[in-house]
Amino acid sequence: MSFVEYGDTIKDGDTAIVFLGHESMFPVKVQHGSVTQTKYGVIRHSTDLIGKKYGSKVTCSKGGWVFILHPTPELWTMNLPHRTQILYSTDISIITMMLELKPGSIVCESGTGSGSLSHALIRTVAPTGHLYTVEFHQQRAEKAQEEFREHGVEHLVTVTNQDVCKNGFGVSNIADAVFLDIPSPWEAIGHAKSALKAEGGRICSFSPCIEQVQRTCLAMEESGFTEINTLEILLRVYNVRTVSLQIPDLGKAAEDNSSTGFDSSSPSHQGSSCANLQQGAVQFKSGVPLREVVGHTGYLTFATKS
């Protein structure tokens, strides 16, 4: 199993996603002899998972069922164990596009954090590219290295435990792109410039506060970066539902009553008119924004090495 080389069959040692519904899923490490508890009952790895195809519908011990999915960076972002705040697919998608990443690209990243963006970057630059990721916290760096090994992508990533603001990325003049997600990105702009290739490399900095963005933009300008611009990506989800609305009475019923000689004031006729109005309803699909939506996550500042 690999996050970049997809397989058909679930094997011992794989990381799989147990899918109970769009709002309910979790990762599980497949191990011979192990069991996983769900609200629908027990899943036995040896008999229910190993040897089955990814995407299979698995029946649990209580009679309910789940789907077993092959992991992807998108599914991992939704289910990974949080060691830090993470980037989600809304920001990740614009980052990979604006950094102009493709298979074979060399990318530098700091910090690694929980590895949400890292997995997406690795999938984008595979099979011939490479990710150099720097993490200040030693335990987080070791855990990230372990996850990359379990996910079959360790040959595409180099994890370094050091302070990028003091020691840089450990590479020079080879990176096509640099990504910064640290408290003081302006202190690392010089090292980012050194890591980037001679001309045309792209840099992105993620910061939650506009004051951080201002200082970072000034540092980029002083270091000779061009095309500096800042974006804020907001996701707005709509709830699609069926709405029933009555057809308004525009007077046609009154005209019909006068032409046929019916007494509209009679109680029996009034009841008949009401019934007709109730029957005159139309159903259609309507999109309504959710009452609570995820707002500001951070600002993305992009620039080009001139």
Residues placed in the known binding site for S-adenosyl-L-methionine:
114-117, 135, 163, 181
Residue 154, SS3?
A: helix
Alpha helices for 169-209 (secondary structure H): 189-195
Give the helix/strand (H/E) hosting 67: strand 65-69
Q: What residues does 13 pair with on adjacent strands?
A: none
Q: Which tokens is 233 given?
A: 């990506």
User: For the purposes of burial, counting CB atoms within 10 Å of the CB of 287, is it exposed (0-12), middle (13-18) or buried (19 or more)?
Assistant: exposed
**Binding site: residue ranges?**
114-117, 135, 163, 181
Q: Which of 114, 118, 100, 110 is nearest to 179 (CA)?
A: 110
Q: Decide: 110 and 169 in contact? Cβ < 8 Å.
A: yes
- Label the pairing between strands 15-21 and 24-29: antiparallel
Alpha helices for the chain (secondary structure H): 73-79, 89-98, 116-125, 138-150, 164-167, 189-195, 210-222, 252-260, 267-279
User: For the purposes of burial, counting CB atoms within 10 Å of the CB of 223, is it exposed (0-12), middle (13-18) or buried (19 or more)?
Assistant: middle
Tokens 């951080």 map to which residue? Answer: 212
Sign of the four-CA dihedral 195, 133, 114, 121: positive
d(CA 113, CA 271): 68
Q: Decide: 42 and 94 in contact? Cβ < 8 Å.
A: no
Tokens 């989800």 map to which residue? Answer: 237
Q: Which of 178, 4, 174 is nearest to 99 (CA)?
A: 178
Specify the amino acid at residue 197: K
Q: What residues does 48 pair with on adjacent strands?
A: none
